[in-house]
């Protein structure tokens, strides 16, 4: 307000000159923008200039470095992609990778064990050890039972003869023994049996008594987890002679000449089919049936008996375990954690309290495979049995308890007591048998027939 008219006129002249100069630059910048310059001056800035009062936007837009020095347009520079993402700590990354790897490995191991679990439990063989005739039991039927799931279960129904007449004379047995054993085993069984009968026809016709198997008790025999039924024939011969019973001896599915693959579910189907076979024969006393199980066969016998108690007179168990995974804990403890996914459980101990039929327990106290305390627990848990008896054999091992003198006598007495209703007043009996004359080493090795590798034969009861 203190400016003189002269100074005011000078300022107006300078502003007019400055406006003229900037207008030329604006036009120049606008023309440059048509040829690719970075920008042109907005119209509102020109209006601001016309007032003679430059705005902040005008000052920014027409700074010498921006307006007078156009540059080639380029996209705004972006920060590197890695800078925009959170970084993972190397230790955390290594942990995730290792965990994923271990999880995948564990999954593969589980899948593998599920696939091979039956092979870990069951040890069948297709090798064959002859037929009952080779072991002094000439009267038998070769049996092939077809199960409802279409598996063929193969074995024998061995028939008792008239007890008033001696069995087939020793001449026939001697003649058979003169044949080379290995040759007989490797020869087709049908041809072998035919040859045996033909070569000894005179002795057989002269001494063979009429069969009385129709009125005899019948034992359904369940063998252990290895080999097949033919490997039990020497043992069966003693049981057959001393018990006075017919014996149905079959190989489970996948064992011997039976088709299929073994499993807990499948073996119970086999056992049920065996019972159906006996009932359907029509010539067997189906009201006088007994069940015998050795080792894992004892687990089969227990589960089978719980399903058909009304048809079973009594149960005989030899060196049997409490449950399969109790054995796994002993033999392969590292596999115990897989119990939940196993299709083979055999919960024998759990089933014992539900059995009401008489039970005989035959326990070898030097069993190094199945601990003897398992048989004691089975005995103690069978509280509903109308008569239970346990016989402990101090020198009995897993595979040789049956070789102990007096072994078959206890079985015969048990069957007779139940059949004649002469059960002791004390319905729970424990017996410790005297010392055996059989070899007492604790090794479980044996020859192919199930006898000790020393070649000992069973001691007569």
Q: Cα separation of 148 and 208, whole Å?
A: 37
What is the chain's alpha carbon radius of gyration, rounded to the nearest angstrom? 47
Task: Catalytic residue, from 230, 295, 382, 436: name it.
Answer: 295
Task: Catalytic residue, from 131, 270, 326, 367: name it.
Answer: 367
Backbone angles phi, psi at 456, to 5 degrees: -65, 140
Are 395 and 366 spatial neighbours (Cβ–Cβ below 8 Å)?
yes
Q: Cα separation of 29 and 46, whole Å?
A: 12
Q: Is 326 a catalytic residue?
A: no
| Alpha helices per DSSP H over 68-200 | 81-84, 90-121, 170-177, 181-186, 189-199
Are 160 and 213 spatial neighbours (Cβ–Cβ below 8 Å)?
yes
Task: Catalytic residue, from 118, 223, 398, 433: name it.
Answer: 398
Q: Is 398 a catalytic residue?
A: yes
Q: Which residue has the tokens 């029509």?
A: 282
- CB < 8 Å & 24+ apart, contacts of 20-25: 22/49, 22/62, 23/49, 25/62, 25/67, 25/68
Q: Which residue has the tokens 């033999």?
A: 331
Q: What is the DSSP string of 382-404?
A: -TT-SSEEEEEETT--TTTGGGS
3-state secondary structure at position 189:
helix
Where do the DSSP E strands lie in 11-166?
123-124, 140-146, 152-158
Q: Is 295 a catalytic residue?
A: yes
Q: Tokens representing 349?
A: 């101990």
The residues, any chain, with a CB within 8 Å of residue 97's CB and separated by 6 or more, are none
Residues with a known catalytic role: 295, 367, 398
């Amino acid at each position: 307000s203190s400016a003189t008219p002269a100074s005011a006129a000078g300022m107006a002249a300078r502003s007019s000159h400055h406006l003229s100069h900037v207008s030329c630059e604006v036009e120049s910048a606008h023309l440059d923008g048509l040829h690719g310059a970075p920008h042109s001056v907005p119209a509102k800035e020109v209006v601001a200039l016309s007032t003679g009062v430059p705005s902040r936007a005008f000052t920014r837009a027409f700074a010498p470095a921006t307006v007078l020095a156009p540059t080639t347009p380029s996209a705004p520079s972006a920060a590197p992609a890695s800078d925009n993402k959170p970084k993972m700590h190397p230790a955390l990354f290594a942990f995730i990778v290792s965990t994923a790897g271990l999880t995948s490995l564990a999954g593969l191991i589980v899948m593998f064990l599920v696939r091979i679990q039956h092979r870990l439990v069951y040890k069948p063989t297709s090798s064959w050890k002859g037929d009952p005739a080779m072991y002094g039991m000439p009267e038998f039927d070769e049996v092939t039972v077809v199960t409802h799931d279409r598996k063929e279960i193969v074995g024998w129904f061995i028939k008792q003869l008239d007890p008033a007449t001696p069995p087939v004379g020793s001449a026939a047995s001697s003649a058979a023994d003169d044949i080379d054993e290995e040759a007989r085993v490797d020869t087709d069984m049908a041809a072998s049996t035919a040859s045996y009968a033909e070569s000894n026809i005179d002795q057989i016709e002269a001494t063979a008594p009429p069969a009385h198997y129709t009125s005899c008790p019948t034992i359904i025999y369940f063998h252990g987890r290895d080999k097949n039924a033919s490997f039990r024939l020497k043992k069966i011969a003693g049981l057959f002679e001393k018990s006075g019973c017919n014996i149905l001896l079959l190989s489970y599915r996948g064992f011997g000449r039976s088709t299929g693959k073994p499993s807990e579910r499948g073996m119970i189907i086999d056992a049920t089919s065996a019972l159906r076979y006996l009932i359907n024969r029509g010539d067997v006393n189906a009201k006088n049936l007994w069940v015998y199980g050795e080792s894992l066969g004892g687990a089969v016998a227990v589960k089978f008996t719980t399903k058909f108690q009304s048809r079973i007179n009594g149960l005989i168990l030899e060196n049997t375990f409490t449950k399969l995974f109790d054995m796994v804990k002993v033999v392969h403890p590292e596999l115990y954690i897989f119990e939940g996914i196993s299709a083979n459980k055999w919960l024998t101990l759990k089933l014992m309290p539900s059995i009401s039929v008489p039970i005989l327990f035959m326990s070898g106290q030097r069993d190094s495979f199945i601990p003897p305390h398992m048989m004691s627990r089975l005995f103690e848990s069978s509280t509903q049995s109308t008569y239970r008896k346990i016989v402990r054999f101090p020198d009995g091992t897993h595979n040789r308890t049956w070789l102990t003198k007096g072994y078959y006598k206890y079985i015969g007495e048990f069957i007779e007591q139940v059949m004649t209703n002469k059960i002791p007043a004390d319905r729970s009996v424990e017996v410790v048998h005297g010392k055996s004359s059989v070899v007492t080493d604790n090794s479980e090795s044996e020859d192919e027939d199930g006898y000790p590798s020393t070649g000992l034969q069973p001691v007569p009861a």
